Amino acid sequence: RRIASPGEAERPRGEFWELPPRREADDRLSELGCEAAGLRSKLQELEAALRQEKRMREEAEWKQRVAGSESSQLRVELRELQELLQKERHSARLTLERQESLEGELRLVTESFRKLQSENMGAIQVEGKAELALAELAECQMQNLELREEVQNFGRWQASRAQLAE
């Protein structure tokens, strides 16, 4: 049995293939080299695209985490603002109740003042109480107006924050 020389390929039964002429082999080798270079270039393009996609995915995940964090913070702020609004509404309700109570007192004082004035008894003392009640009423009315304005401004502000959160 003969050993194949470096230019020959051995068949299983000891027969030898004939190799193509050197020129054809060189041409084929050149073609394979070009194909390999093309495949390497394509592989580099695919690797670059894969790296770009990975960067984009990581950036999207980061943005999603940031947005989630900001959304959580906005929910906390919204909850706090809703609690504050509820307290302000309660305060406004109490002020309104106080105003109504003072208006009732003012009516009583006014009626008493008229009776006393018509009877001409103690008119000066009742007049002082009426002026005090009127001053308190005016103060409560001012507070009520301020609170209403604050509640309206807060409502507008809260609506704009809710739109930003969306």
pLDDT digit string (tens) for 111-143? 987 887 777 655 566 677 888 888 888 888 898
Tell me the CB-side half-sphere exposure of residue 36, using CA atoms within 13 A: 6
Torsion angle defined by CA atoms of residues 73, 79, 81 and 87, in that order, rounded to the nearest 10 degrees: -160
Instruction: Read off the pLDDT of residues 18-27 as tens digits, 9 standing for 90 and up.
Output: 555 677 778 8
Of the chain, the end-to-end C-alpha distance in Å amounts to 84
- Residue 102's contacts (CB-CB under 8 Å, 6 or more residues apart) are 133, 136, 137, 140
Threshold 0.75, pTM exceeds = no
Which tens digits make up the pLDDT trace of 46-72? 999 999 999 999 999 999 888 888 888
Q: Max CA-CA distance within the chain?
A: 152
Cα separation, 125 vs 39, in Å, equals 107
Separation CA 126–CA 115 (nearest Å):
10
Task: Report domain extents, the chain.
Answer: 22-165
Closest CA relative to residue 116, chosen from 104, 129, 100, 101? 129
Residue bearing the bigger pLDDT, 3 or 49: 49
Look at residue 145 and tell me whether its pLDDT is greater than 80.
yes
